Amino acid sequence: MTYPKVPPTRIDFTADDRAWITARIDEVLESGNLTLGDFGRQFEQLFAAGHGVKHAIAVNSGTASLEIMLRAMNVTGKDVLVPANTFFATAAAVISAGGNPVLMDTDVATLSTSLAEIERRFTPQTVGIMIVHIAGLITDQMPAIAAFAQKKGVWLMEDAAHAQGSTLNGKHAGTFGLAGSFSFYPTKVMTSAEGGMIVTDDERMNTEARLYRDQGKASFLQNTHIRMGYNWRMSEPHAVIGLRHLEKISDMISARRHIAARYDAAFANQNSLAPVAIPKGCVSNYYKYVVMLPEGVDRAALKKWLRDERNVHCSGEVYEFPLHKHDVLAHLDPGDLKQAEIACGRQMCLPIFASMTEAQADQVIAAIADAKKAGLL
Ligand SMILES: Cc1ncc(COP(=O)(O)O)c(C=O)c1O
């Protein structure tokens, strides 16, 4: 029997989207305003409105948005708490901005970190806390974490690269602290090809972010450099692509939720694999649909079987290894990040994307059942 391919993820631009985008890129080319222009401003305004914040600042990657936020807070020589279970860029941005990332262990239930772990790592050298909403899940401890940061007089920022459109008690990812960072890399729930966004209600952060993204220049037309900025600008063609997806983001996320509900129904009360539970009060964007495998399951063998025997392609894990397991960051290992190692070691991501069909989801569900029969689970 041959099975149609189920890809791990897909980013879609319909024929209508492509016509819409190319018409506007044509306009941009004709106008000669190729960067920091009207489409960028429209993208920022729509993004800010969607998040209920005063300011959104478009940049050319999610890594740039993180580094700008950190530079704006002048972390040079200071300690910033960062989860061990995150993407390289979360910690690398701290280092690039001159700070010291201090790694925190993982709460396996939420894939995030816990208030208890923040308290354990907190020292008088700590100036800020970076929270990452892995897979689109917002920990239900966010309000308590925000209150702790406020009590200690340090900033809280969010790397919300995975969590555009996720909410906790109705509040959007990226809006719990001083500023939030988003990525539009093409694996994300929406894309601008490359790009990132900072959201904030803070006037100073807004001003600083705009300075930093344009080489630290005093203004667009003035060649006086007053900050150690960089070229972190978003070009107009990128803004046009992002704007199109942003206009459709609610529908795209609803489609992901529909697939997730189908998986939930199939995998409820199973003893082979357990979907990671959505934290209380959280509505996930289902950037990833993460399941935890029972101890002892050979993840690589299971994924290979699903691919070779059922044409079901699972993506890489959200993170296969925590940060301290990468050679270049091994020096950050405090030696007690065991929960992060468990969380990274046992998770697997099932295919999910906005244009996924029910038939594709059912093919995945059947393939998992067959893998179980074949003894891989
Ligand atoms: C958690 C996290 N932070 C930061 C980034 C960096 O974003 P970008 O690739 O847009 O620089 C990504 C993704 O790529 C990410 O997943």
CATH code for the domain in which residue 108 is found = 3.40.640.10
Q: How confident is the model at residue 56 (pLDDT cuts 50, 70, 90)?
A: very high
- What is the Cα–Cα distance from 47 to 67, expressed in whole angstroms? 20
pLDDT at 280 over 90: yes
Average pLDDT rounded to a whole number, residues 166-171? 98
Closest ligand 1 atom, CA of 61? 10
Average pLDDT rounded to a whole number, residues 90-100? 98
Instruction: Judge if 206 and 271 occupy the same domain.
Output: no
Instruction: Judge if 157 and 256 occupy the same domain.
Output: no
For ligand 1, pick from 69, 183, 323 the residue to mutate: most ligand atoms within 8 Å of CB.
183
Lowest-confidence pick of 204-213, 214-223, 289-298? 214-223
Instruction: Judge if 260 and 331 occupy the same domain.
Output: yes
The CATH number covering residue 279 comes to: 3.90.1150.10
Instruction: Judge if 205 and 283 occupy the same domain.
Output: no
Cα 190 to middle of ligand 1, angstroms: 13
Average pLDDT rounded to a whole number, residues 178-192? 98
Among 15, 286, 260, 283, which Cα is nearest to 135's?
Answer: 286
Among 256, 213, 284, 271, which Cα is nearest to 40's?
Answer: 213
Closest ligand 1 atom, CA of 187? 14
Q: Residue 159: CB within 6 Å of ligand 1? A: yes
Place of tokens 């037309």: 221
Cα 95 to middle of ligand 1, angstroms: 15
- What is the Cα–Cα distance from 218 to 243, expressed in whole angstroms? 27
Predicted pLDDT of residue 1 = 85
Domain membership of residue 7 (yes or no) is no
Instruction: Judge if 185 and 253 occupy the same domain.
Output: no
Instruction: Judge if 134 and 256 occupy the same domain.
Output: no
Predicted pLDDT of residue 94 = 98
* pLDDT tens profile 100-111: 999 999 999 999
Average pLDDT rounded to a whole number, residues 114-125? 98
Q: Which residue, 212, 247, 282, sits at the end of a domain?
A: 247
Q: How confident is the model at residue 219 (pLDDT cuts 50, 70, 90)?
A: confident
The structural domain count of the chain equals 2
Instruction: Judge if 318 and 233 occupy the same domain.
Output: no
Closest ligand 1 atom, CA of 185? 10
Average pLDDT rounded to a whole number, residues 141-148? 98
What proportion of the chain, given as a percentage, has pLDDT over 70?
Answer: 100
For ligand 1, pick from 9, 67, 185, 241 the residue to mutate: most ligand atoms within 8 Å of CB.
185
Predicted pLDDT of residue 337 = 97
Q: Residue 305: CB within 6 Å of ligand 1? A: no
* pLDDT tens profile 305-339: 999 999 999 999 999 999 999 999 999 999 999 99
Domain membership of residue 260 (yes or no) is yes
Q: Residue 86: CB within 6 Å of ligand 1? A: yes
Instruction: Judge if 67 and 128 occupy the same domain.
Output: yes
Closest ligand 1 atom, CA of 66? 4
Instruction: Judge if 166 and 296 occupy the same domain.
Output: no
Instruction: Judge if 267 and 331 occupy the same domain.
Output: yes
Indicate left, alpha or beta for 247 from its phi (over 0: left) and psi (-120 to 50: alpha): alpha
Instruction: Judge if 131 and 237 occupy the same domain.
Output: yes
Predicted pLDDT of residue 37 = 96
Instruction: Judge if 192 and 276 occupy the same domain.
Output: no
Average pLDDT rounded to a whole number, residues 128-156? 98
Beta bridge partners of 102: 81
Cα 124 to middle of ligand 1, angstroms: 29
Predicted pLDDT of residue 40 = 98
Q: Which residue, 190, 224, 247, sits at the end of a domain?
A: 247
pLDDT at 44 over 90: yes
pLDDT at 271 over 80: no
Domain membership of residue 9 (yes or no) is no
Q: Residue 63: CB within 6 Å of ligand 1? A: yes
Q: Which residue, 195, 223, 247, sits at the end of a domain?
A: 247
Structural domain for 277, as ranges = 249-373
